[in-house]
Amino acid sequence: MDISEALEDMVATAPDIYDQTFQPYHDSIKRWQTLFNYTPLKAAERIKDQKLNGCPLNLTSSQWEMIRSEKEAQGHDRDSYEHWIETHCHRRSTPDETPHPSSSDPPIQSSTAIYLVKLTPLLPTASKIQEIAHLPDLPPTHAGTSSTSSPALFCRIDGTTLHALRTWLLTHGPSHNLTTVRLTLAAKDLSPNSIYPTLGHDATLPHHRPPTPSLTAGQVMQHDYPVLYFFYGFLPYLERLTHLLSRPTITSHTPNLVPATVKGGKVEYWRGKYKALVDGGEGDVVEGVAFEVEGGEEEEALRFFETEMYEVVRCGIRMGGGGGKVLGGLTFRFARREQLG
């Protein structure tokens, strides 16, 4: 982020000390009523408090633009989503809340969820978390800021590890409150012995089952890098892709950004306006671009951006249009087709 953008964010999110008479708009009150189940009076009070006193979890303009389409589809604007983060991801337990599960509760199982847990005096290091959860490898740590904007360290774990920590705290820190942030990413589970999952193909049908595993040798595998990705409706995402992958500015003239098509898919609309790639018929063709993702870190950034609403699937990417060569690649397929229509 450059200095001008940082200043714009400071101006946009700073409380207006001269406007102590601020009154929330009717549309904002209705939004907060719907999203947070507030009464009209409580919604107005919370909006006014956030406007006048600021929010400790302000998003930058770049961060908001990366998730704007998804969150607006869920009914949020920037202010309401910042409030959602504060109340859901960083909230402290109250006497009416139960901060930890029963030791008999089942582990949290989610292949698409990652959690960031704030390190505290009781859980001071990643090594301590590794010891408690009996992890084979040391979980990674990330620097960040707490809800009070002070520096903090967070440890990245999965749902099973989170359950282990909460169970351990039942005995060793029953009054301790975990500060956690739940992140979701698009699922990626490419079978080594079948075409599953592939855009436009049901891998359970007999004619889509290879007689021997060797017949799948030409397709993309789970950890193949670099890997070709197909994007549809791509131009609005060029700036986001540059930011996500920390690449030099990516434009429509970038050498490794090639016009391409895929067969077996079609684009439908989620909530009436957001494009979503889903399985189609054999004759369906979707136009877009192919882009080479260099490694696992870049791919993970894209998966976090797409969230659990999508899943990574195999596809054949025809380079350069109708007469180009077909290469094995991947794309993001909408994973909630029952929500379309």
Q: What average pLDDT values come out for the chain (341 residues) when binned by 10 residues?
A: 41 39 69 86 82 62 70 84 68 36 44 81 96 94 76 90 90 86 87 91 66 58 94 65 70 69 92 86 91 90 86 93 86 88 64
Alpha carbon 284 to its chain centroid, in Å, reads 28
At 283, which amino acid appears?
G
The confidence score (pLDDT) of residue 124 equals: 95
Maximal C-alpha separation, the chain: 74
Cβ–Cβ under 8 Å, residues 185 and 112: yes
Find residue 180's DSSP bridge partners.
117
Whole-number pLDDT of residue 202: 84
For the chain, report the end-to-end CA distance as a whole number of angstroms: 38
pLDDT of residue 84: 80
Q: Which residues contact 41 (CB under 8 A, 6 or more apart)?
A: none
pLDDT value at position 122?
95
Q: What is the DSSP letter of 85?
A: I
pLDDT of residue 152: 86
Pairing of strands 227-232, 326-334: parallel
Tokens 């670099």 belong to which residue?
226
Residue written as token pair 């999952």: 197
Contact (Cβ atoms closer than 8 angstroms) between residue 272 and residue 33: no
